[in-house]
A and B are shown apart, each in its own frame.
Chain A
């Protein structure tokens, strides 16, 4: 590859200084003249009919201006990222604890919060269901009878296109089926030398992003509605607002303030429409900020999954067959339940070639908190399944845990369970090798530890290999748009509607343009957080911004480069007599804000000169381009190309298990992450660190403690996430293997960096103490109980 000047450089974060000096404005930092405050009335019941809402006392309370309910929503009282099955304000019934019922607006925040308690809602409790398997039984309470779903399921759980009341599985949201090879016949299992099987559980967990939901809606001087909250997808929020407010999208502007973390929990709307409904009626700026406790109820959770699987191999350790069944709890609303469950089902094979595969997955409505996008999007939950079974097989067959993986991993040319061919950029072998070498430095054996100082502390090592498909996937139109404009004085402005949620989109997009235009990234001006300024670049999710929007930015920048060369030739020729003019734009270079003829560099003009000439001629130079990712929808047997590209990684860890108390500490970590190409290595490392630590919390600590729909651990003192004292030394290895369809070969890594952590740690725990934890998190009580049971 060519030498890069901007790509591959750890350029300093564009938004760093603002964030370090306190000048960066997050939604709760904004205030406006004449502003009023809102607070939300929420359901205390998991499933209940709303008999009556009496707002009279609340309306009469000091400072209260108005109270909004479903009747005050001018347009459709619904929203949702896929199915419109959320109510803006619940009407008729509530489906979960915390469902929004009304919104009180008052002169001060305290007054609004006090008046929330004065809104009298009469509920009639109805039977609720909290277990996905129970919810699938005939006669189970119907959680979400919303009739605008695309399809429901019949007795065989095959698709039918009818209304829910006619069929016995109204709570079944999505059914995944994959059949490959001889998977239906029992005989295939008889050909296996060894079979490993197990049942696994991933609980309700939360992104726990540091900034709780907050926002302001107001009507601007042009009578347009402006919403500034924090979202991963401005353009989608605008669609949802228009639909609920019954006003034209053109009248709505969504602006992102600085966002304090997202990880998926800012995809479904929370307070946005509430603010907008109130602002539209009151014509005053309306602000609301959730408390931490409320935030835990308001946004989506990771789908809890019960996963049963078995994996068989021949005597050499080559995988023969794999079978899995997944029950995924969507809670009260669909959100991304279909897509998350599909992603789980696709990824549960692990990055391994298996000729015979049978997978069944079910996403089910319950009266639990609703679940949706969360870093890893279903793939996080399933890695403990394939990596545990892999280790179990290795043990049964007497094969080294690393060797068995090397025998089965995807390589270029491999076919997935969905029949998709991995055509390139598949350096998983290199990831595993890198981790193996690094881990071997201490004892000569990657999976062997040095002796422990205390006899009650048992050390162990584990390794995991994973894969992750980028993008919305499954044939869904996955489009990003970017544009580049020449401004007066020759400045260059890049626009792309990709939300900066902390991942670094604001830093790397200009890097790409700078590379193409031979400029410094810091000289590229960039707009990204305003739906008026930028076209739709899709959501800052699905590990897709670097790949998708990066591609759009690259295409638009290349187009801009071609255009500015034309303008340079035009300008040079303008003052020349006809026969002295340059013939074409060939052999022109663009560098440092100048365009020149490489074979005769005196023929040059600056961007500023071109800009001045354009102005003189009454023209502008602004070009746009878009990129659409290529995926193919799965058929009824799970055949298709659900994602592209795939990213691979391998993590190794060392743990210390305190056999007295059952506490597990992760003391060392080695992380090899395939990135295609690193646009900004420091940002890549930051993602690995952050993903590792989030994975560490998921593995050892985190659990919302959902009990009959109630979240017991809805505060930071109870929802335990890792502190600075809990993390190991994290060694990071960036593995580059450029992908041809990606911008400079760069693939996304935002989500995959989290997914190998849980299985690596669980495998290390087994290595240390000989017990398998299959239900997360691996808390002291579970470890101690497993140890005790193991002794009996």
Chain B
């Protein structure tokens, strides 16, 4: 086994320089919760690893009425500790709290969760539902990408070689908080990989849904914005009836998408429960 070269970077410039040394051979480590497993299993083909866990520009959380910015190296625990995030983006907070267990949350980062491209990444559905954007840094400078355009296939993302996710930008639409709810079905209460997850962000005026984005995890190969569900919800009343209809609708979508897979029967049924709970949480946020 050839020893990997590791660079510990403290600023974006160091990261980019280190990656640029050989963009085909280099990758990034932050929390290590995925890459260390690949390293142990001998599956990590890159020979250069750049540690970004202490990169200053990737560590901050900033909140304005227009947007919330979260650095890509911010850990789940740091988000969970943030009362501001909990108040402003409850569904994102819930999702981050549901990741793994304490140690994993202490290490794992928002950027890593996204960059890994796993369909089961817990923090991704709420970010998708919120219409988050990524700032991707490379030697060519910063670039902004919609998160919904980021996932290309199983484990495949739009992150160019030699580039890194620097920051997440979540539009706040001039509000103090957004309606965002997250629900996940795991097999146990901690250290649970999501079997299905769903996030819903809404705008509700006078009891009617005026805007809606539904995103899902672990249904198919990539975390997905459920366009059809979003359309379905807009114009409907924010009540139990809508929830019941939405559950059936989502179930049909899942049944179609997973047709022929062994999990279809279970997931098409369980998604009803997951979306029901997510929508209930979202509606509760309307009233609060």
Binding site for B on A (CB under 8 A): 110, 114, 456, 658-663, 665, 701, 717, 720, 722-726, 779-781, 784-785, 788
Contact = CB atoms under 8 A, between A and B. Distances in A.
B208 interface: no
Given A110-B1, A660-B277, A784 B270 contact: yes
Contacts, number: 58
B195 A717 contact: no
Given A725-B190, A726-B190, A663 B266 contact: no
B266 A781 contact: yes
B191 interface: yes
B171 interface: no
A726 B192 CA distance: 11
A665 B192 CA distance: 14
B138 interface: no
A723 B101 contact: yes
Contact of B187 (A114, A780, A788): A780
B193 A723 contact: no
B32 interface: no
B269 to A, nearest CB: 5
A724 B274 CA distance: 24
Interface residues of B, number: 20
A110 B3 CA distance: 12
A663 B263 CA distance: 16
Contacts of A779: 187
Contact of A661 (B1, B101, B190, B274): B274
Give the interface centre of A660, A723, A726, A785 by most chain B CB atoms within 10 Å. A660
Interface string B40-61: 0000000000000000000000
B154 to A, nearest CB: 18
B69 interface: no
Contact of A456 (B185, B187, B265, B273): B273
A720 B101 CA distance: 14
Contacts of A665: 189
A659 B273 CA distance: 8
Contacts of A658: 273
Given A114-B1, A661-B273, A726-B188, A717 B193 contact: yes
Nearest to B191: A723
Give the interface centre of B190, B193, B266, B276 by most chain A CB atoms within 10 Å. B266
A660 B277 CA distance: 9
A780 B193 contact: no
B166 interface: no
Nearest to B266: A781
B19 to A, nearest CB: 27
A701 B191 CA distance: 13
Contacts of A720: 187-188
Contact of A780 (B1, B185, B189, B277): B185
B178 interface: no
A596 to B, nearest CB: 57
A725 B189 contact: yes
B15 to A, nearest CB: 29
Interface string B210-238: 00000000000000000000000000000
A659 B270 CA distance: 9
A110 B40 CA distance: 11
A701 B187 contact: yes
16 contacts: A110-B1, A456-B273, A658-B273, A660-B273, A661-B185, A661-B270, A662-B269, A663-B187, A720-B187, A724-B190, A725-B190, A726-B190, A781-B263, A781-B265, A781-B266, A781-B270
Nearest to B269: A784
A4 B187 CA distance: 47
Given A114-B1, A717-B193, A780-B195, 15 more contacts: A456-B276, A658-B273, A660-B276, A661-B185, A661-B273, A663-B185, A701-B187, A723-B188, A723-B189, A723-B191, A725-B189, A780-B185, A781-B265, A785-B265, A785-B266
